[in-house]
Amino acid sequence: MANSATSINRTGSLSATGDVVVKFFEWFGNLGIFCAQWVRTAFTPPYELREFVHQFDELGSKSLPLVALAGAATGIVITLSTRDSLIRFGAKSLLPAVVVFSILKESGPIITALVVSGRAAAGIGAELGAMKVTEQIDAMEASAVNPYKFLVTTRVLACMLMLPLLTLVSDFFGILMGWIASTAAEPISLRLFIHNGFKDVTFHDFLPPTLKTIVFGLLIGMISCFQGMRASGGTEGVERAATNSVVLASLFIILADVLLVRLILVFFS
């Protein structure tokens, strides 16, 4: 009897594990189909330019204060934490360069992407999820309006173009507040701080990390739209779509950043 019970438990565990694996690959398969539909509609006229401009403003301008605040906080934290370490090793003069390189190459892009993911992904997932459960998307299809072109393409492209611009804002406020934090500890002119920070910066140090946020924007827009378009189950489904959009988009951003940093080091170092 004990052996039979143990065998049944093992069989149940294997079955549960198999279901998880199947659902995992099923999710990625559905995401691949969704991406293929987006690619097909994104390059097929007519284009929803008015909706694209609206989404660009909606996702960009409303994320600007959060991005600026996050960039400023990052600059202060990097300056304060790095200054103490550099003083210990007698390399205090390198502080401007360390702050600038840290923000431009990694902190600015990844912090911006995660902040936008927390705001935009939740908004897109909840908005499309609400439209899905209330059958508004079905009504659009019945009216001969392609929901992928009107809802998905505009939001994904807006996210892709918005992220590099917001990254520049984050970099600016991060470096500015880094100078202010450094000046509060030991006065240094802005001109000298900028000169020491940027004298060794090249386009290879600035452009690839900034442009990689286009990939982050693609992930944010695609995953949040995908989660919203497949929502079901009323208000609980909308909540799940919003939550999963933020969690999955943030996870994919971190994983993509690891890969992109490696590629940048290979091709631009």
* pLDDT tens digits along 136-162: 887 887 777 777 888 888 899 999 999
Query: Domain ends where: 10, 28, 44?
Result: 44
Q: Are the C-beta atoms of 148 and 41 separated by less than 8 Å?
A: yes
Q: Residues 26, 60: one domain?
A: no
Angstrom distances, CA of residue 124 to CA of 45, 49, 75, 112, 245: 23, 18, 29, 17, 8
Total domain count, the chain = 2
137 burial (CB, 10 Å; 0-12 / 13-18 / 19+) is buried
Is residue 4 pLDDT above 60, yes or no? no
* pLDDT tens digits along 48-93: 788 888 888 888 888 899 999 999 999 999 998 888 888 888 788 8
Q: Residues 58, 35: one domain?
A: no
Q: Residues 183, 54: one domain?
A: yes
Whole-angstrom Cα distance, residue 89 to residue 57?
46
Q: Residues 99, 1: one domain?
A: no
The proportion of the chain whose per-residue pLDDT surpasses 70, expressed as a percent, equals 93
Q: Residues 34, 66: one domain?
A: no
Is residue 10 pLDDT above 70, yes or no? no
Q: Are the C-beta atoms of 72 and 173 separated by less than 8 Å?
A: yes
Q: Residues 34, 56: one domain?
A: no
Is residue 6 pLDDT above 60, yes or no? no
From the centroid of its chain, how far is CA 268? 23
* Whole-prediction pTM: 0.88
Is residue 1 pLDDT above 70, yes or no? no
User: Residue 30 sits in which domain range?
Assistant: 1-44
How does residue 8 score in pLDDT terms, banded at 50, 70 and 90? Answer: low
End-to-end CA distance of the chain: 65
Q: Residues 8, 120: one domain?
A: no
Contacts for 186 with CB less than 8 Å, ≥ 6 apart: none
* pLDDT tens digits along 167-188: 999 999 999 999 999 998 888 8
Q: Residues 180, 229: one domain?
A: yes
* pLDDT tens digits along 63-72: 899 999 999 9
**102-116, 134-148, 219-233: segment of lowest average pLDDT:** 134-148
Q: Residues 105, 6: one domain?
A: no
* pLDDT tens digits along 199-222: 888 888 889 999 999 999 999 999
* pLDDT tens digits along 32-49: 888 888 888 777 777 778
Q: Residues 209, 130: one domain?
A: yes
**Residue 79: which of 213, 193, 204, 165 has the closest Cα?**
193
Q: Are the C-beta atoms of 104 and 171 separated by less than 8 Å?
A: yes
Q: Residues 35, 54: one domain?
A: no
Is residue 2 pLDDT above 50, yes or no? no
Average pLDDT taken over every residue of the chain: 85
Whole-angstrom Cα distance, residue 109 to residue 156?
18
Q: Residues 39, 134: one domain?
A: no
